[in-house]
Amino acid sequence: MPSAGPGVPALEALGLSKRYWRGALALDDVSLSVVSGSITALVGPNAAGKSTLIKTFVGFERPTAGSVRVLGVDPHHDRKGALAKLGYVPQAPSLYRELTAADHMDMAAHVRPGFDRQGALDHLEDLGIDPRARPGALSGGQQAQVMLAIALGARPEVLLLDEPLASLDPLARTEFLALLRGQVRERGTTALLSSHIVTDIEQVCDRLIVLGVGHVLLDESLADAVAVHRVLVGDGPAPDGATEVGRFPGDDGLKVALVRVAAGAAEDGLQPATVDQVVKGYLVAGRRRRAGQRGEAAA
């Protein structure tokens, strides 16, 4: 269970901005918190800042402004303290090609006290991955599973997963998510999962953060996000008491508008929104915001 005091978020960003040396702004005044014991989905288009945010929590990126905390610890002032609480699976598997999977577990056990080497090896064998195999003999999905086994073997309080599902086939994704859900439920682990695959998010996540061009567009529990949004099919305006978020093509080719409804508002002509529609609506809103920023810059 988390070692920080009661009420301390597992992950927290306060006014976080990150500008790279050529002037590109990856994150712009981002503030958010991730509740301990949750699985939070981090969704956004390419270049939205998802990987930058995760790497900032790990300590790989230093904020230009603002700060981040991992169970109350600033990874840029106490990196060792923060890393002791973290497990990290990067977007691209990062394994030594000369070492076998078992060698990687040995190395992890050497640098992480209490590393569950046998548990990590058992996980690989359950998936049919030979611990004697080197990375070159493994598929991209199998390499991702080795990375997850290393991360989970450290028994971290917080897991940071940067699009680990991208290279997995459907069965491997199901197995990955089942293991993740089990870790959270059994050990009280907190997970931040970056993914584009909305069906996977619905299976395991209880919170949703949508990033768009360095800004937080939505930060709500999955249940609340669905409860307060509706869709309007066609080109008509949003009814009274509903605020339009964004319009996008529906499965039948007709335009669909995602709207946010106020409590007690009339819902004539509105339909329940799916998680996929909520995500699409906010991605469109982020694109519109980015276009507006370009227009202001050009003016």
Boundary of a domain, candidates 171, 192, 219? 219
Are 180 and 39 found together in one domain?
A: yes
Strand 25-34 and strand 190-194: the pairing is unpaired
- Shared domain for 271 and 132, answered yes or no, is no
Residue 265, pLDDT above cutoff 60: yes
Give dist(CA 144, CA 183) in Å, integer: 17
Return the DSSP state at 74: -
How many structural domains does the chain have? 2
Domain residues for the domain of 248 are: 228-298
Pairing of strands 190-194, 39-43: parallel
Q: How would residue 274 be classed by pLDDT, with cut points 50, 70 and 90?
A: very high
Domain end among 153, 184, 219: 219
| Tokens encoding 248 | 């996008």
Residues 38 and 182 in one domain: yes
User: Which of the two residues, 46 and 222, has the higher pLDDT score?
Assistant: 222
233 in the same domain as 197: no
| Structural domain contains residue 203 | yes
pTM of the model: 0.88
If asked whether residues 70 and 162 sit together in one domain, one would say yes
Q: For 170-174, what is the mean pLDDT? A: 83
Give 56-102 pLDDT, tens digit per residue: 999 999 999 999 999 999 999 999 999 999 999 988 888 999 999 99
- Spatial separation of the C-alpha atoms in residues 12 and 35, rounded to whole Å: 9
Identify whether residues 166 and 253 lie together within a single domain: no
How many CA within 13 A on the CB side of residue 294? 7
**Domain shared by 234 and 211, yes or no:** no
Q: Is the pLDDT of residue 293 over 60?
A: no
pLDDT at residue 292, rounded to an integer: 52
- Give tens-digit pLDDT for 4-59: 555 789 999 999 999 987 777 899 999 999 999 999 999 988 888 999 999 999 99
- pLDDT given at position 6: 56
Whether 6 maps to a domain, the answer reads no
